[in-house]
Amino acid sequence: MRFILGLLLVAVFVYSLALVLINGTELPVDLWFTQVPAMRLGLLLLLTLVIGIVLGLLIGVQLFRVFQTRWEINRLRKDIEHLRKEQIQSAQFAAAEAAASARHEKTVLDVQSQDRSTPL
83-114 per-position pLDDT tens digit = 999 999 999 999 988 888 877 666 655 656 66
The per-residue pLDDT for 5 is 86
Give me the residue spans of the domains in the chain. 2-117
Residue 21 CB partners (closer than 8 Å, separation 6+): 42
The Cα 20–Cα 88 span in angstroms is: 69
How do residues 67-81 score in pLDDT, each as one tens digit? 889 999 999 999 999
Amino acid at 39: M
Provide the whole-model pTM: 0.51
The Cα 113–Cα 110 span in angstroms is: 5
The per-residue pLDDT for 62 is 86
Residue 25 CB partners (closer than 8 Å, separation 6+): 40, 41
State in Å, rounded, how far the first CA of the chain is from the last one.
95
